[in-house]
């Protein structure tokens, strides 16, 4: 019997949209049989910036019980899904700050041969979603990762419309049913691919 697949869902969320997608991805991964860790990255914005936006401060308080990601989580995982809002077409600085600490893991080869995928949200349509996901893929290439996008491999993808990864146009609206289903599907696809790789390596 193949060991359970370990999935880390590592995200940054300022006001809750990416957090909601992360929870949907976790549900999809668990239903696919994976052992899941949901981890947030540390908030690095200055307190005055956070307090200037009530929804930002509120979300930070509401998710105080979510564990922060560690290098051990990355080492443990067979696959990692990264979630981030888009910031000027790039991943949020908070997520990049964590990624930039992973050099020792990379140097030891501990990030290679894992499955990676990503999801995002922006405030506006065409607000840099695709470039944000592609920017994360640049990191996965350096790690020697196996990138698994959702593509157009399920009917939900023809409704969500983003083959690079689940994405949500936020504005003042939380992720709807299509985005949540897309996140669940993306996580399932990651689990299935990671499980197939793990089984193949065990033979």
- Average pLDDT of 39-47? 94
Q: Quote the pLDDT of residue 98.
A: 98
Task: Please indicate, yes or no, if residue 196 is contained in any of the structural domains.
Answer: yes
**Is there a contact between 99 and 83 (Cβ–Cβ < 8 Å)?**
no
Q: Would you say residue 1 lies in a domain?
A: no
Two structure tokens written together for 154 = 């399920």
CA atoms of 140 and 146, how far apart (whole Å) = 7
Element (H, E) at 40: strand 35-40
Number of domains into which the chain is organized: 1
SS3 99: helix
* pLDDT given for residue 95 in this prediction: 98
pLDDT of residue 1 exceeding 70, the answer is: no
Does some domain include residue 107?
Answer: yes
In angstroms, rounded to a whole number, what is the distance separating the alpha carbons of residues 22 and 18? 6
For residue 141, what pLDDT is reported?
98
Give the pair of three-digit tokens for residue 143.
């790690």
Question: What does the pLDDT look like over 87-113, one tens digit per residue?
Answer: 999 999 999 999 999 999 999 999 999
CATH number at residue 149: 3.40.50.360
Residues spanned by the domain of 15: 6-202
Does any domain span residue 76? yes
pLDDT-derived band at 193 (thresholds 50, 70, 90) equals: very high
DSSP 178: H
| Residue 36 falls inside a structural domain | yes
The 8-class DSSP code of residue 68 comes to B
């Amino acid at each position: 019997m193949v060991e359970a697949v370990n999935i880390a869902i590592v995200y940054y969320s300022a006001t809750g949209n990416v957090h909601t997608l992360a929870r949907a991805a976790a549900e999809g991964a668990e239903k696919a049989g994976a052992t899941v860790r949901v981890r947030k990255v540390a908030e690095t914005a200055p307190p005055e910036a956070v307090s200037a936006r009530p929804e930002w401060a509120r979300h930070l308080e509401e998710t105080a019980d979510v564990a922060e990601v560690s290098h051990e989580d990355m080492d443990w995982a067979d696959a990692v899904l990264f979630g981030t809002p888009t910031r000027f077409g790039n991943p949020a600085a908070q997520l990049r700050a964590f990624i930039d600490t992973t050099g020792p893991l990379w140097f030891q080869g501990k990030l290679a041969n894992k499955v990676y995928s990503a999801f995002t949200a922006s405030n506006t349509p065409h607000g840099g979603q695709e470039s944000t996901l592609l920017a994360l893929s640049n990191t996965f290439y350096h790690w020697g990762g196996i990138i698994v996008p959702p593509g157009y491999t399920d009917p939900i993808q023809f409704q969500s419309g983003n083959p690079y990864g689940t994405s949500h146009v936020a504005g003042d609206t939380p992720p709807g049913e299509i985005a949540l289903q897309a996140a669940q599907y993306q996580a399932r696809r990651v689990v299935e691919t990671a499980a197939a790789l793990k089984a193949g390596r065990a033979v």
